[in-house]
Structure 1
């Protein structure tokens, strides 16, 4: 994909969405689930869509929340449901819809005390803490499309383990929700929003105070404070906007919020690689404004709209490659935490093999899973996994005492970990990575995207590994071909092919008409380009062979 001519530049008025129109379409447009694109469809992180395209409308949220209420009843989940939302324009009306359906179904709901914004990791921590202390099972819903453009909406369900719902659960919710829409919402219960707000089933809680106080259980905040590490935090208009000042005050941190804007059009953003507004904290184009401030702080951090992702900016290297920071975080944690010797390092199969080399150097077990944070949940919840992370800049890890912190990605703790690393070691994360690369090798990593039809995307889920006849990858013998992840045997929804010094993985997007090729080389950029070229050739052969 070529870089848009305005990438990295401040959004102009012509780039902004008509927010009143977007919200109107949420209420006025009604989906037809006979159309594939208009159905409820849970990807790796919930259902996402666009009201104008009839993929995220009031009917979707009514049906999804009704399906969740029914699932809770069937499973005997009788604790409260923590309900949160981010700052996207459609999150506000979807929050109101969700609350009205949940209350009508006699679901006890807990929300932020001022009905304000709540980050995804906060909901996860609330669920984990509540269920550690109570017999009843709590769960949660977060209204967010994560880093997606301003016109998009999204909704995620986190069952009592606190993390993203497993595929079996989302499949049930998905099927039931589409059935409810197909039946004209006849099976859905819904009270008025006004009634829901005054219902005794609704409780309000200070989520900010709770989460801020809990942070000392997972991060060495005293070290950050005593070292005087200066931190520049850009909430990027997201749901953690009121959390950073509270964290700074509570722990006496030299932390400044560099962008206090909250605007559903996200007009303050710089444009992403494709010229769209996207709150992607791993993108140098979307993070251009913060990168400009790198010399003003020891560490600068950015987060996406629901704060489950992190971007780390250092004086010595600018915006860190997400894979590089994952490797640094893992090495630091494994050498600075008193966790069980046999705890595992979790990574997705499209994350850098630098993580494999770090794990091997520390003699730590590695667990490689398919794309999607849900695959880490069980291990994080039990303490079997010390760390779970994915290449798209999302991760979490155990509390200081080795107990479960969150079972969802936590952008706050990853950002604060960068400051802890500097405070404790005297090296910023980029300097730390440079030392790792010097001893373990320097990889080149790239992700490419290509257009794929619905039929072509279906080919990936039915690949027979024996169809791939190639014996070499970029002039090296192929060591492994896989369609299932080593850690759990789960289907990866595509293929991964590995050689001694390089690999690629190809899989379809769950939300867009594209497929993605992830590739890495420990030899050179030219070697990486050859891997990608051969990967595209292999995928095209599969498309042709399967007549997609």
Structure 2
């Protein structure tokens, strides 16, 4: 895809989302699920997402989804408070109020941030887990966020009693019930008025900020960061974690500078991404171009997306790290500096993350667990403490506490950002320097992800492939060593396929929201070999889709 001429620059004023129009659409547009299936509730890897303007995230959706969640909680006898969070997207505030009206009408106690503030995804996971560790009335959580998606989007996801994204059985149950309610014109949905919500006595203000910040010393070596006087620059990118950094700096004596304190639902201060759209993607050099201009002012600079489940790491002199590269560095550092972690604990990666991680984990003589795309696949193992680290190529990860017990079972952008500062403080080398040392030892990876147009029928074929559907024996001049349609780490279907040779691989899987399939490619040979991989991968997938 060609790079948009405005990529890395601020968006023209006339291209910003019209917030009044968006909010009007949220309340007035109604999903037509019988004739427009794209307007149904659909839970992808991170909940239900859409835009009110496209009638895919509207008040009716949230009414139905929240009622379905309330019914699920009742069926499972989950009687503790529900921890409810929201990010800074415009639709998040409206959906938050809608969700509150349904939850309280269903007699659910709800814990929200003091003074109605924002609450990041990892903070909700942390709160659920710390509650359930000491209380008998189990809790769960809901986060209202479309993550890094554009300003006109909305999203909602359900976190189970284990703190992380609910598994497919649960989300299918919620989605099916929600669509049933939509089909019945919301008959069966209980809802309070704002006055009834206020009088219900079910809203419990909760100090999420201090609850989370006070616990950080149990997962990050804050003392070493403070002693080393690491200069940390933070671009909150207008996200939900903006009010956490000052308390972190104050409590632990850290040198933290917020380079942009703005919150605005148009996100007008975020440079546009490679396609010319505003997207708060902290792994994109275009969206992060504002922070990159300041990289030499700090030892480590970090950015996070609106719900703070992703991280972008900027090192002085070298710039924004590739997310895959940082995952490998984080794994190597943590395996060597967390003495209480058992030697047999696993390190997790998704099938589409870099093969560098495989090589690093093997070099450490540790155990790798490779799973399909989606952080939900890590929840059980991280909850149990049998997986020390789980990461995704899209710049999301979490890891265990210093003592080897669970911290969050959802991605946590705060701790990955602070870990970069810890790495520099303890080793004297920034993460990019350590990555180059890994390249010297394990080889240089060349990685790429592309989107290919596909019809819904083709996406269905790709999602249901069997290994026998691939008959080729060579790929880009090398013998094919494996063809996977199920993840080796847990045996779960990957919804596509992954083909590997000695020095390269590609994976193809259909998009859950667009009429495209995604191809992930990596070569440990050269850019030319990567190009050959891309050419032959497309041919191979096309042959399977036409078979």
Q: Which bin holds the TM-score, normalised by the shorter protein?
A: over 0.9
Question: What is the CA distance between 1:449 and its match in structure 2?
Answer: 0.8
Instruction: Report the equivalent of 1:277.
Output: 278
SS of alignment partner, residue 506 of structure 2: strand
SS of alignment partner, residue 162 of structure 1: coil
Instruction: Report the equivalent of 2:8.
Output: 8
Larger mean Cα displacement after TM superposition, 8-17 or 86-95: 8-17
Instruction: Report the equivalent of 1:26.
Output: 26
Tell me the distance in 2 between the aligned counterparts of 1:298 and 1:44.
34
Instruction: Report the equivalent of 2:298.
Output: 297
SS of alignment partner, residue 162 of structure 2: coil
Please list, as runs of the form range in 1=range in 2, the aligned pairs for 1:310-325 lying within 5 A after superposition: 310-325=311-326
Give the counterpart of 1:362 among 357, 361, 364: 364
Tell me the distance in 2 between the aligned counterparts of 1:305 and 1:324.
22
SS of alignment partner, residue 500 of structure 1: coil
Tell me the distance in 1 between the aligned counterparts of 2:16 and 2:45.
27
SS of alignment partner, residue 394 of structure 2: coil
Question: Does residue 308 in structure 1 map to residue 300 in structure 2?
Answer: no
Instruction: Report the equivalent of 1:133.
Output: 134
Question: Does residue 371 in structure 1 map to residue 373 in structure 2?
Answer: yes
Give the counterpart of 1:428 among 424, 427, 430: 430
Tell me the distance in 1 between the aligned counterparts of 2:456 and 2:198.
42
Question: What is the CA distance between 1:109 and its match in structure 2?
Answer: 0.6
Question: What is the CA distance between 1:197 and its match in structure 2?
Answer: 2.8
SS of alignment partner, residue 276 of structure 1: coil
Tell me the distance in 1 between the aligned counterparts of 2:513 and 2:247.
35
- In the TM superposition, what whole-angstrom CA distance separates every residue of 1:472-517 from its partner, at most 9, and x where no partner exists? 1110000000100001110000000000000000001112221110
Given that 1:316 and 1:430 are in contact with CA atoms closer than 8 Å, whether structure 2 keeps it comes out as no
Question: What is the CA distance between 1:438 and its match in structure 2?
Answer: 0.5
Please list, as runs of the form range in 1=range in 2, the aligned pairs for 1:143-542 lying within 5 A after superposition: 143-338=144-339, 339-542=341-544
Question: What is the CA distance between 1:15 and its match in structure 2?
Answer: 2.1
Question: What is the CA distance between 1:143 and its match in structure 2?
Answer: 0.4
Tell me the distance in 2 between the aligned counterparts of 1:232 and 1:10.
20
Tell me the distance in 1 between the aligned counterparts of 2:94 and 2:217.
34
Question: What is the CA distance between 1:316 and its match in structure 2?
Answer: 3.2
Question: What is the CA distance between 1:14 and its match in structure 2?
Answer: 2.2
Question: What is the CA distance between 1:32 and its match in structure 2?
Answer: 1.2
Question: What is the CA distance between 1:314 and its match in structure 2?
Answer: 0.4
Tell me the distance in 2 between the aligned counterparts of 1:498 and 1:238.
38
Tell me the distance in 1 between the aligned counterparts of 2:534 and 2:291.
31
SS of alignment partner, residue 116 of structure 2: coil
TM-score (norm: length of structure 2): 0.99
Cα separation, partners in 2 of 1:197 and 1:451, compared to 1, 3 Å: farther
Tell me the distance in 2 between the aligned counterparts of 1:404 and 1:292.
36
Tell me the distance in 2 between the aligned counterparts of 1:159 and 1:300.
33
Q: How many residues align?
A: 545
Given that 1:497 and 1:503 are in contact with CA atoms closer than 8 Å, whether structure 2 keeps it comes out as yes
Tell me the distance in 2 between the aligned counterparts of 1:314 and 1:198.
50
Tell me the distance in 2 between the aligned counterparts of 1:152 and 1:295.
34
Given that 1:91 and 1:154 are in contact with CA atoms closer than 8 Å, whether structure 2 keeps it comes out as yes
- In the TM superposition, what whole-angstrom CA distance separates every residue of 1:80-102 from its partner, at most 9, and x where no partner exists? 10000000000000000000000
Instruction: Report the equivalent of 2:39.
Output: 38
SS of alignment partner, residue 270 of structure 1: coil
Gaps of 5+ in 1: none
Tell me the distance in 2 between the aligned counterparts of 1:71 and 1:23.
29
RMSD (Å), alpha carbons: 0.7
Question: What is the CA distance between 1:193 and its match in structure 2?
Answer: 2.2
